[in-house]
Every structure is written in C-alpha cells, then in structure tokens.
Amino acid sequence: MKSLKPITRIAVAVVALALICTYFVPLWQILMWAPQYPEGLEMKIWHNTLSGEVRTISALNHYIGMRTIEVGMFPEFGYIQYIIGFLIGFGLITAVVNKRVMLISFLMFILATGLGALIDFYIWGYDYGHNLNPEAPIKIEGMSYQPPLIGTKQLLNFTAFSGPDIGGWIFIVSAGVLIGFLIYEWKKNK
C-alpha cells in the first residue's frame, strides 16, 4: 500500500474542502435566448433547488405541452447533499489515511458522481422534451424539445445552452487536480 507525498495530501484535503462550496453555489445552468428575450432567461440547478426564471420558462413551455417545472418533482434534490457530504468526508479521510488506493477511490467517486448526474439530467431532459401534452397549442410533427446535455441547441425560436455553473466547475477542477496528482504520484513512486 503506497502512501502519498505530503503535497498530494494537502491537495486532496483542499479538494475535499473546496467541495463544501458546492452547497452554496449553483451546479448547473440552462440559458435560453430568443428574439424577444435578448436579455435571456436562465435556470440554475443547485444541490437542493432551482432558481432563475423557472416560472417564466414553464409558462412559455406550456405552449408546446411541456410540464411545469417544479422543485418538488425532483427527488434528487432530497439526497444530493448527502452524496456531496460523503465526497467531502471521503476526501478528508483520504488525506488522513494517506494511501494511494484511497486517492484513486476518491477520484473514482467524484467521476462517478459527475457521470451519474449527467445521466440523470439526460433522462429528465429526455422525459421533459418528449412526453408532451397531446392537446398543446403548438404541435410540430417530429419535433421534440429535449434540452442539450452540454452545449447549445436551437429549439424553435429559442437557443438553449446547457453547461456547468460554478459548482459544476468546482467538481471538474477537483477531478482534474486529483488526476494530476495521481499521475504525479505514479511518476514519483512507481
């Protein structure tokens, strides 16, 4: 069982503590622009809620038969906090226990969390974009309105963008830092 360099232990601890910030900032964002919305509409996804012009987005979506977006519909908001809590705890234990295998596990947990979140987001997006009210005022043959997973997509008059917000970037940078230090550990201590 190989142990870690002191600098790596510090980095792991910093990453674990940085994840605390994700409780206080949005994780993901969806932005929308249209000719009559030059200022844009935004929806921010937090660990436990949604913010931004959710009501307005829902009001507009009713024309194409999408369901109203409400916080209560997403059970995820009830348990994401525990997942993040687990990651923070595991990171701190890794720094204390000082074993490479723990570092690898920590990284894997973070990557798995990210991947899981993306899959979950995709499923929700698919569901919202495809399960439309058959009596909607606007129906276009063959058209679905699934938001982009990452990047931009044109949905009728709206250009929609989906991407990480501050919290999401913290996760991405954390994973990057851990990968970097893992490579460093491998090189220094084969």
Query: Closer to other proteins at the Cβ: 56 or 152?
Result: 56
CB of 31 to other proteins, least distance (A): 16
Which one, 53 or 76, has the nearer CB to other proteins? Answer: 53
- The values of phi and psi at residue 153, to 5°, are -155, 140
Shorter beta-carbon distance to other proteins: residue 4 or 60: 60
For residue 163, how many other CB atoms are within 10 A of its CB?
15
User: What's the rounded Cα separation, in Å, for the pair 105 and 89?
Assistant: 13
CA gap 84, 68 in Å, rounded: 28
Give me the least distance between CB of 63 and other proteins, in Å please.
Answer: 7
How far apart CA 135 and CA 122 sit, in angstroms, is 25
CB of 55 to other proteins, least distance (A): 6
Residues that bind other proteins (CB under 8 A): 39, 53, 55-56, 59-60, 63, 137-138
Nearer to other proteins, 37 or 124 (CB): 37
Closest CA to 2 of 104, 73, 80, 100: 100
Q: How far is the CB of 64 from other proteins (least distance, A)?
A: 11
Q: 40 or 114: whose CB is closer to other proteins? A: 40
* Tokens matching residue 126: 């698919």
Least distance (Å) between residue 13 CB and other proteins: 42
Q: Which residues have a Cβ under 8 Å from the Cβ of 28 and sit 6 or more positions away? A: 44, 45, 121, 162, 163, 164, 165, 167, 168
From the CB of 69, what's the least distance to other proteins, in Å? 14
Q: Which is nearer to other proteins, 13 or 156 (CB)?
A: 156
